[in-house]
Amino acid sequence: MRRVREHVSAGRIELKFRHQASRLIRINGRITGVAGEILEPSTVERGQKSGRAVVGDSEVSAGAVLVTSGGIGGNFELVRKNWPRDRLGPPPKNMVASVPHHVDGRMVAIAQQAGAVVINGDRMWHYTEGVKNWAPIWPNHGIHILPGPSSLWFDARGNRLPVPCLPGFDTLSTLKTILASRYDYSWFVLTQSIRPTAP
Ligand SMILES: Cc1cc2nc3c(=O)[nH]c(=O)nc-3n(C[C@H](O)[C@H](O)[C@H](O)COP(=O)(O)OP(=O)(O)OC[C@H]3O[C@@H](n4cnc5c(N)ncnc54)[C@H](O)[C@@H]3O)c2cc1C
């Protein structure tokens, strides 16, 4: 971020907060810019969704356009649609979100409509040591326990999870094992001294 700020100060980068890209402009087969909306300033309380009311339009043209809009983790509909059912079985009924709702993946479809080819849509990563944040920063905020190797982990029926389902180790194998138990929760037993958390 420090380097970005230096470029901003030098006039090489312009940051456009509350600008939502909604369309890639295509002229003669070439992407020449981005169009979208300017959203109302956000003053929402912690744990609330920021507003999406539109207060203006925006359009930027450029010699090259890179889409770097991040993932889909804030959009459970898209997560469920892309879920790797063949590898993991059906998705859990209950999930918490480790990213805010604006990580909505809508640019993926927008880029596709403009001609982009999307690959590996089902390659997703989920932390299984997630618990609901009691003081959420965004709705349904999940917080990840940094477990250390000494926590004990059991499925819903009290069976100890097998290797490689160790805390902080192979999270996708752990997810598969928990889902195979047909319950979408597990028991994670740890002490005060091994319970630090990350956002
Ligand atoms: C809980 C958690 C812990 C993590 N821990 C680590 C870690 O310890 N180490 C590590 O290396 N990685 C970690 N990661 C992963 C890492 O944070 C991501 O891989 C990385 O941030 C992805 O960067 P990105 O630039 O692709 O997307 P993002 O950082 O998500 O950036 C995308 C940006 O695009 C904006 N955007 C999206 N759509 C639009 C639109 N339509 N119009 C305008 N703007 C838009 C978003 O607002 C956002 O600012 C963690 C992730 C999570 C969720």
**Do residue 173 and residue 83 come from a single domain?**
yes
Taking only the tens place, the pLDDT of each residue in 7-18 is 999 999 999 999
Same domain, 176 and 92: yes
The domain tally of the chain equals: 2
Backbone dihedral angles phi then psi of residue 71, each to the nearest 5 degrees: -95, -160
For ligand 1, say whether the CB of 17 is within 6 Å of any of its atoms: no
Answer whether residue 194 is part of any domain: no
> Are 83 and 149 found together in one domain?
yes
Closest Cα partner for 74 from 139, 147, 171?
139
> Ligand 1 mean position to 72 CA, how many Å?
10
107 lines ligand 1 (CB under 6 A): yes
> Are 124 and 90 within one domain?
yes
HSE-up of residue 6 (Cα within 13 Å, Cβ side): 3
Quote the tokens at residue 198: 């990350």
91, 176: one domain: yes
pLDDT of 11: 97
Domain of residue 128 covers 76-189
Nearest-angstrom CA–CA distance, 111 and 121? 13
At residue 196, the pLDDT reads 61
- In this structure, the answer to whether residues 106 and 161 fall within a common structural domain is yes
Ligand 1 binding pocket includes 99 (Cβ within 6 Å): yes
The pLDDT of residue 198 = 54
Mutation pick for ligand 1 pocket among 69, 126, 133 (CB with most ligand atoms within 8 Å): 69
Model-level pTM? 0.88
Confidence grade of residue 1 (pLDDT, cut at 50, 70, 90): confident
Report residue 146's pLDDT band, with 50, 70 and 90 as the boundaries. Answer: confident
| pLDDT score of 192 more than 60 | yes
Question: Is residue 100 in contact with ligand 1, taking CB distance under 6 Å?
Answer: no
Question: What spacing in Å lies between the alpha carbon of 191 and ligand 1's midpoint?
Answer: 31
Tell me the two tokens of residue 64: 């090259």
Same-domain check for residues 103 and 140: yes
